[in-house]
Amino acid sequence: MASAAHWSPLAELLADGGSRATMLRLAPIVLLGGGLLVYVLIRAALFMLNYMRIQRGLASIPSAPGSLPLLGHLIPMITCVRRNIGAWDLMEEWLDKTGPIVKFRFLGTQGVVFRDPAALKRVFQTGYKMYEKDLDVSYRPFLPILGSGLVTADGALWQKQRMLMGPALRVDVLDDIIRIAKKAVDRLCEKLSHHAGNGQPVNIEEEFRLLTLQVIGEAVLSLSPEECDRVFPQLYLPVMSEANHRVLRPYRMYLPTPEWFRFRTRMAKLNQYLIDLFRRRWEARQMVGASRQKPVDILDRIMDAIEESGAKWDAALETQLCYEIKTFLLAGHETSAAMLTWSTYELSIAGEMADKVVSEADTAFGAQCQVEPSRRSVDEMLYTLSVLKEALRKYSVVPVVTRKLAQDDTLGLLGHSLPAGIMVACHLQATHRMYEAPDEFRPDRFMPGGEYDSFDDAIRAYMFVPFIQGPRNCLGQHLALLEARVVLALLHKRFKFTLAGGSAVRRDPSVIPVGPVGGLHVLLEVRK
């Protein structure tokens, strides 16, 4: 018999000449090992067959430059940040060099990236059911936060949730946004007034992030600014920051490091905080019953819709609601803050554009900013809106959205049919560069009769896609643009901004939504 220290099934079998008793004892181990080997071989064979099927399906599409055997485009994609460009900028280089659609691959993933308004229409509108959310790669690091919320859900669950949540973000809540945003910008102006004229730079991007979080916190949950400033920096912002780190370092999702445990703990605390809040609100609603007043916030509106649908309040509903609310918080603040930051950057360079925004603010808010304007007066601030739209075009804060093709698309994109299983990267940024002199900041493009209006009717809506288009378009786009018009106009009415230190401002290559590297540092003066 082999000693215990060197025991192995084979050694034991050889040592006792393969007696029947030993063979019987070893049979389960051999069977298990053999079964495992067969399973791995079958999985590998299926993977290879699928890989080759996709490769054949993509044969007609040119490959992006820089592919290596086995690794594909992995190395250029993970090292591009060192060249100060994002993976989305690298993809745009591929399109510039190769054509409007190119294929790429990394690890086991094969995909295509394209720029073309008609092809965007196919993905976002006519074939949207085939083009599902890409949960395997792009959204994976955010799944612990977003779960099966609106942004990441597909099929029947998405449809049900969109019907439930949609009205809460569309109708009369938009009137409340003007009031909430005005209060928030008044608080910010009070804070900034201590910096005006003192030569101390302010990181205005950071201020916009706090402001948009306060606006969304109040609009969705009626949280006071103090409560927002207490809860979010402790629980929500750190989990967001870790999820962002995981995009470029996916191994952080699996390694049980101290940060991994902190992420789990904070996530659990944030969920508990939200669920306690829901329960208190739901119970209070049941106590008040029919004498209830008009809804106070988005959560109230969602609860109205839940009651109307007859759904039972249970743990599953609480969990789903938790995902939805976190989705609103995530989707609703950093993107808006990035849009405000880039708009402020451009207005700080072009004084005459800032003057036009200020003149619209005078009309809507009064000379002393004392008026709380109606929806209509804010809707009439067309130039301010055009500044925001042009910032979204020029800086494409969401430069790419990705999908996974759920079935073969025989009509395909740009004349190429596409096989099921591929990643499809819709290059919004590259589409936004299909304008005249794309590097120039020209808000007039979006004024009535401007360049945007001159595009053909069939594709116009797909030439400006910061919120994408079609059934899965951004649910918060009206809220975001309304809030930002109030904030941008009032802030520039009160202060004149100049860039601090003349430092060059670069787009961050590592995080979406894309803001400036290190924030935006500005000097302020009270506007006369």
Residue found by looking up tokens 């829901």 in the block? 278
164: enclosing H helix or E strand: helix 155-170
The tokens describing 270, both together, are 């944030």
**CB-nearest residue to ligand HEM:** 476
Q: What does DSSP assign to residue 475? A: T
Contact map string, positions 354 to 383, toward ligand HEM, x by CB under 6 A: ------------------------------
Using the rule CB under 6 A, which residue among 148, 336, 341, 384 binds ligand HEM?
336
Contact region for ligand HEM (CB under 6 A) — 48-56, 62-70, 397-405, 445-453?
397-405
Is 397 near ligand HEM (CB under 6 A)?
Answer: yes
Strand-pairing partners, residue 106, are 72, 109
Is 320 near ligand HEM (CB under 6 A)?
Answer: no
Q: In the complex with ligand HEM, which residue's Cβ is closer, 135 or 350? A: 135
Beta-strand ranges (E) seen in 257-415 are 400-405, 409-413
Q: Is 144 helix (H, G, I), strand (E, B) or coil?
A: helix
Cβ neighbours of residue 243 under 8 Å, at least 6 residues apart? Answer: 141, 142, 144, 145
Using the rule CB under 6 A, which residue among 332, 421, 470, 515 binds ligand HEM?
332
Is 401 near ligand HEM (CB under 6 A)?
Answer: yes
Using the rule CB under 6 A, which residue among 146, 150, 192, 210 binds ligand HEM?
150
CB 327 → ligand HEM: shortest distance, Å? 5
Nearest to residue 48, comparing CAs of 59, 40, 58? 40
Pairing label, strands 495-499, 521-526: antiparallel
Residue found by looking up tokens 């609009």 in the block? 219
The tokens describing 100, both together, are 């409007």
CB 255 → ligand HEM: shortest distance, Å? 27
CB 110 within 8 A of CB 423: yes
Using the rule CB under 6 A, which residue among 53, 140, 160, 162 binds ligand HEM?
162
Contact region for ligand HEM (CB under 6 A) — 303-311, 330-338, 439-447, 520-528?
330-338
CB 428 → ligand HEM: shortest distance, Å? 7
Q: In the complex with ligand HEM, which residue's Cβ is closer, 387 or 479? A: 479
> What is the C-alpha separation between 96 and 115, in angstroms, rounded?
10
Residues 457-496 binding ligand HEM (CB under 6 A) are: 466-468, 472, 474-476, 479-480
Q: Phi, psi at residue 266, to the nearest 5°?
A: -65, -40
Residues 214-233 binding ligand HEM (CB under 6 A) are: 216
Q: In the complex with ligand HEM, which residue's Cβ is closer, 398 or 523? A: 398
Is 101 near ligand HEM (CB under 6 A)?
Answer: no
Q: In the complex with ligand HEM, which residue's Cβ is closer, 267 or 468? A: 468
Cβ neighbours of residue 285 under 8 Å, at least 6 residues apart? Answer: 292, 300, 303
CB 441 within 8 A of CB 375: no
CB 388 → ligand HEM: shortest distance, Å? 8
Strand-pairing partners, residue 497, are 524
The tokens describing 408, both together, are 């073969």
Pairing label, strands 101-106, 400-405: unpaired
Q: What does DSSP assign to residue 251? A: G
Q: How far is CA 16 from CA 6, 26, 29, 177, in A?
A: 15, 13, 18, 83
Contact region for ligand HEM (CB under 6 A) — 190-198, 270-278, 334-342, 445-453?
334-342
Q: How far is CA 9 from CA 1, 12, 234, 461, in A?
A: 11, 5, 54, 68
Per the annotation, does 474 bind a ligand? Answer: yes
Q: In the complex with ligand HEM, which residue's Cβ is closer, 231 or 338? A: 338
Contact map string, positions 232 to 271, toward ligand HEM, x by CB under 6 A: ----------------------------------------
Contact region for ligand HEM (CB under 6 A) — 311-319, 333-341, 377-385, 495-503?
333-341
CB 133 → ligand HEM: shortest distance, Å? 6
CB 368 → ligand HEM: shortest distance, Å? 29
Residues 504-523 binding ligand HEM (CB under 6 A) are: none
Is 343 near ligand HEM (CB under 6 A)?
Answer: no
CB 78 → ligand HEM: shortest distance, Å? 22
CB 22 → ligand HEM: shortest distance, Å? 59
Q: What does DSSP assign to residue 465? A: -
How many amino acids of this chain bind ligand HEM (CB under 6 A)?
24
Q: In the complex with ligand HEM, which residue's Cβ is closer, 201 or 466? A: 466
Is 121 near ligand HEM (CB under 6 A)?
Answer: no
CB 232 within 8 A of CB 240: no
CB 119 within 8 A of CB 126: no
CB 174 within 8 A of CB 503: no
Cα R_g (the chain), whole angstroms: 27
Is 398 near ligand HEM (CB under 6 A)?
Answer: yes
| Cβ neighbours around 63 below 10 Å, total | 15
CB 414 → ligand HEM: shortest distance, Å? 20
Cβ neighbours of residue 355 under 8 Å, at least 6 residues apart? Answer: none
Cβ neighbours of residue 47 under 8 Å, at least 6 residues apart? Answer: 108
Q: In the complex with ligand HEM, which residue's Cβ is closer, 116 or 134? A: 134
Q: Which residues are annotated as a binding site?
A: 474
Report the interface residues with ligand HEM, using CB under 6 A.
150-151, 162, 169, 216, 327-328, 331-332, 335-336, 339, 397-398, 401, 466-468, 472, 474-476, 479-480
List residues forming the annotated binding site for heme. 474
